[in-house]
Amino acid sequence: MYSDVVMEVGKKYFEELIDKMKAEKGVTQDVDLTADDLKELASQFKAEYKEKIGEDFPDDPKEQLMGAIKAVFRSWDNPRANVYRRDNDIPYSWGTAVNVQSMAFGNMGDDCGTGVAFTRDPATGEKKLMGEFLTNAQGEDVVAGVRTPMPIDQMADKFPEAFEQFKEVCKILEDHYRDMQDMEFTVENKKLYMLQTRNGKRTAQAALKIACDLVDEGARTEEEAVAMIDPRNLDTLLHPQFDANVLKETTPIAKALGASPGAACGKIVFTAEDTKEWAARGEKVVLGRLETSPEDIEGMKSAQGILTVRGGMTSHAAVVARGMGTCCVSGCGDIVMDEENKKFTLAGKEYHEGDPISIDGSTGNIYDGIIPTVDATIAGEFGRIMAWADKYRTMGVRTNADTPGDAKKARELGAEGIGLCRTEHMFFGDRIDAFREMICADTVEERAQALEKILPYQQGDFEQLFEAMEGDPVTIRFLDPPLHEFVPQTEEDIQKLADAQGKTVEEIEALIESLKEFNPMMGHRGCRLAVTYPEIAVMQTKAVIRAALAVKANHPDWDIVPEIMIPLVGELKELKYVKKTVVETADAEIAAAGIDMKYEVGTMIEIPRAALLADEIATEAEFFCFGTNDLTQMTYGFSRDDSSKFLEAYYDAKILENDPFAKLDQNGVGKLMKMAVKAGKETRPDLHCGICGEHGGDPSSVEFCNSIGLDYVSCSPFRVPIARLAAAQAAISQK
Ligand code: PEP
Ligand code: MG
């Protein structure tokens, strides 16, 4: 271990020597080697060390201790730790500590042992002691998954007194921390030593159950229970589960440990590198390994699920998968694995790279082929925690939804309105033709004709959005993207468009060419489209207002107030200009319908200039919604489409710790937001403000939004519960 961890020689060289020795002696377990074998092995290890390092293995304990301490400090900066911290919002600046304690030996004979235990089941949350131990072993042996440990209950037979004492200690620790504990212990000559305790990592399901149970046991308040749940973990509960009907008809081919719940299906791959590569190509993959190690982390992150041959509930694969919320089945000893040739045999069948497989991380069942999955629902303890979250939060949670299907899903997950409907996303599939005709029109008349075709589509979609939100706010953003994103690419599509417009292919190609821009993100997009083509804004206004009127006619009790949002405004006069078109059109529609209906016109704040001049902008805007994707892009000057190319280098150089497009840059972008809210509300006290960039679903960004007084956050449907919980936590901690 010293050679591996401190000197970084590489464990495999020593493992090879041990395996060779075991083969020579005809034994399978390390502990079956005799003292003489081990002496011989020790000298082989020392020789190996000397060959690799060029010096003798240090046998001065002080030197070893200093080496070990330095290795711990060094570990703070290794790539795995950096990736882990980035995923878990831990600042690099914290640094680490080293605790030096005297060694307790679990490997001095059969009255010794070592183990790990949880005071509650980390997979389900059930209140029962859970853990594993090994006799005549040291800590590393339990977690490495090399020997399969015994369930903790069997400790009662092996070390009855130590076990009784251990159970008492568990209770003391849990009562003190008022949370589930994850402990490591050693028994040395029957005497119990506690090595460490910490709040245990748990699945999302277990986190919810433990929090609810602690409230019922009187150990925690509702607010504390809400604060205990990591919102990022909820994600796993929202992922699909196997279709129960199909599952009933399917027999598992094997059963192992359900180490991290959820359902996963995909093509089997055998290395972390392959997992990453295949996933990058859009393949769903299940990573199959003998056992995993920290080197595999990045690959594990890209897998739908992880299947291991060795290791128990506390093995590396199990612990890491639970932390990531990735489904994991571990310890499937029935698999005959051939990692080198990328294949394994299970239940009489040989599985090769790319073969389909399904695994259930709750039951530990393994299935041949792909089992279809269904969406999850919010019920039971999940429902209880979310109800508490809603009780304590003060900020609203809306959703970014472009289609009626998204809107319905978001509603089920608790969205209180739509904060952003990107209208351009309504033009995929067969609707793209009419959209292209509009883009490639070169006269107002041609464009008007195309818009006539588009209007009914838009109106129909908007009606369904208003229906889905049942009178809650719906914010519809006018056309925003650079138009060239939608022009036809293939010869066939170009021909089709030419035919539809009675033009030649060359004419269409020339038009496409004319739409190309050097810097499309700062080009002809956003409100600039409505300035150059007011007829687009007219059509979109008609569609919104007509849809709202139609839905209101069916539901007179719903207080429908459509919110029309103008994107990418940087100058008051821009907004004024577009708003004039909107207001004239909307008022005419409402007057013609003879129904009394209010509507609002607001803007996105996504250009720094708009944030700087928010007091002016608010003279026209009835609401602000921070488009922090563009606001980050333009504040940092990082392209939102290309920044991944250099961000890794920024992390390595410690210039940035997180992707500012995922986690709000509170210092810079946040400062602009704070200023804009303050200035906007000074001009217009009833101005309502929200956020609809990607950050609206990121817990730490949600907390920031709460602190600057936003009225709501808006995020994609599956992040709505995360945002609800994060908003509650922000309100609770502010209180
Ligand atoms: C934004 O810029 O944050 C935003 C929500 O708009 P889009 O992502 O559509 O540019
Ligand atoms: Mg934007």
- Beta-bridge mates of residue 344: 337, 351
Phi, psi (degrees; rounded to nearest 5) at 578: -70, -40
The pLDDT tens digits for 324-352 are 768 899 989 899 999 999 999 999 999 99
The pLDDT tens digits for 203-251 are 888 999 999 999 999 999 999 999 999 998 887 788 678 887 888 889 9
Q: Given ligand 1 and candidates 399, 400, 418, 422, which is best to mutate, with the most ligand atoms within 8 Å of its CB?
A: 422
Quote the pLDDT of residue 144. Answer: 64
Quote the pLDDT of residue 429. Answer: 65
Closest ligand 1 atom to 628 CA: 3
Query: Measured between alpha carbons, how far is 80 from 272 in angstroms, rounded to an integer?
Result: 14
Active site residue 689: no
pLDDT > 90 fraction of the chain, expressed in percent and rounded: 72
Pick from 582, 598, 601, 580: nearest CA to 590:
598
Quote the pLDDT of residue 24. Answer: 95
Closest ligand 1 atom to 625 CA: 5
Residue ID of nearest Cα to ligand 1 atom 10:
630
Q: Tell me if 284 CB under 6 Å of ligand 1.
A: no
pTM: 0.83
Q: Given ligand 1 and candidates 424, 630, 639, 661, which is best to mutate, with the most ligand atoms within 8 Å of its CB?
A: 630
Closest ligand 1 atom to 400 CA: 5
Q: Report how far ligand 2's centroid is from the alpha carbon of 564 (Å).
A: 15
Is residue 610's pLDDT more than 90?
yes
Active site residue 316: yes
What angle, rounded to 10 degrees, do the helices at 644-652 and 79-88 form? 110
Q: Tell me if 629 CB under 6 Å of ligand 1.
A: yes
Q: Tell me if 606 CB under 6 Å of ligand 1.
A: yes
Angstrom CA distances, 40 to 23, 47, 108, stand at 14, 11, 19
Run of H or E including 681: helix 669-683
Is residue 314's pLDDT more than 70?
no
Q: Tell me if 424 CB under 6 Å of ligand 1.
A: no
Top pLDDT among 159 and 362 is at 159
Confidence label for 62 from pLDDT (cuts 50, 70 and 90): very high
Q: Report how far ligand 2's centroid is from the alpha carbon of 567 (Å).
A: 7
Q: Tell me if 628 CB under 6 Å of ligand 1.
A: yes
Query: Measured between alpha carbons, how far is 583 from 601 in angstroms, rounded to an integer?
Result: 8
Q: Report how far ligand 1's centroid is from the alpha carbon of 710 (Å).
A: 17
Which one of the listed residues 328, 440, 625, 692 is annotated catalytic?
Answer: 692
Q: Tell me if 692 CB under 6 Å of ligand 1.
A: yes
Quote the pLDDT of residue 323. Answer: 62
Mean pLDDT score of the chain, rounded to an integer? 92
Closest ligand 1 atom to 627 CA: 3
Q: Report how far ligand 1's centroid is from the alpha carbon of 477 (Å).
A: 10
Q: Could you say which ligand is closest to the alpha carbon of residue 701?
A: 1
Which one of the listed residues 112, 170, 265, 316 is annotated catalytic?
Answer: 316
Q: Report how far ligand 1's centroid is from the alpha carbon of 669 (Å).
A: 14
Residue ID of nearest Cα to ligand 1 atom 6:
627
Angstrom CA distances, 726 to 229, 231, 381, 594, 702, stand at 9, 6, 17, 43, 6
Query: Measured between alpha carbons, how far is 211 from 204 in angstroms, rounded to an integer?
Result: 11
Is residue 146's pLDDT more than 70?
no
Is residue 20's pLDDT more than 90?
yes
Q: Report how far ligand 1's centroid is from the alpha carbon of 629 (Å).
A: 5
Closest ligand 1 atom to 422 CA: 9
Q: Report how far ligand 2's centroid is from the alpha carbon of 604 (Å).
A: 8
Number of H helices, E strands in the chain: 30, 26
Is residue 47's pLDDT more than 90?
yes
Query: Measured between alpha carbons, how far is 385 from 107 in angstroms, rounded to an integer?
Result: 44
- Beta-bridge mates of residue 360: 263
CB atoms within 10 A of CB 537: 24
Q: Given ligand 1 and candidates 425, 479, 624, 629, which is best to mutate, with the most ligand atoms within 8 Å of its CB?
A: 629
| Lowest-pLDDT choice from 18-27, 138-147, 183-192, 269-278 | 138-147
Write down the residue that tokens 């704040």 correspond to.
605
Q: Could you say which ligand is closest to the alpha carbon of residue 693?
A: 1
Listed residues: CB within 5 A of ion ligand 2: 606, 627, 630
Task: Give every CB contact of residue 57 below 8 A, 6+ residues apart in sequence.
Answer: 2, 3, 45, 46, 49, 50
Quote the pLDDT of residue 143. Answer: 67
Top pLDDT among 599 and 259 is at 599
Query: Measured between alpha carbons, how far is 256 from 313 in angstroms, rounded to an integer?
Result: 10
Query: Measured between alpha carbons, how far is 463 from 476 in angstroms, rounded to an integer?
Result: 12
Query: Measured between alpha carbons, how far is 418 from 399 in angstroms, rounded to an integer?
Result: 5
| Lowest-pLDDT choice from 121-130, 204-213, 306-315, 657-666 | 306-315
Is residue 145's pLDDT more than 80?
no
Q: Are 253 and 346 in contact (CB under 8 A)?
A: yes
Mean pLDDT throughout 26-45?
92
The pLDDT tens digits for 268-290 are 999 999 999 999 999 999 999 99
Q: Could you say which ligand is closest to the alpha carbon of residue 691?
A: 1
Closest ligand 1 atom to 629 CA: 3
Pick from 636, 692, 680: nearest CA to 477:
692
> Strand pairing of 343-346 and 600-605?
unpaired
Confidence label for 195 from pLDDT (cuts 50, 70 and 90): very high
Q: Could you say which ligand is closest to the alpha carbon of residue 695?
A: 1
Quote the pLDDT of residue 597. Answer: 95
Residue ID of nearest Cα to ligand 1 atom 1:
627
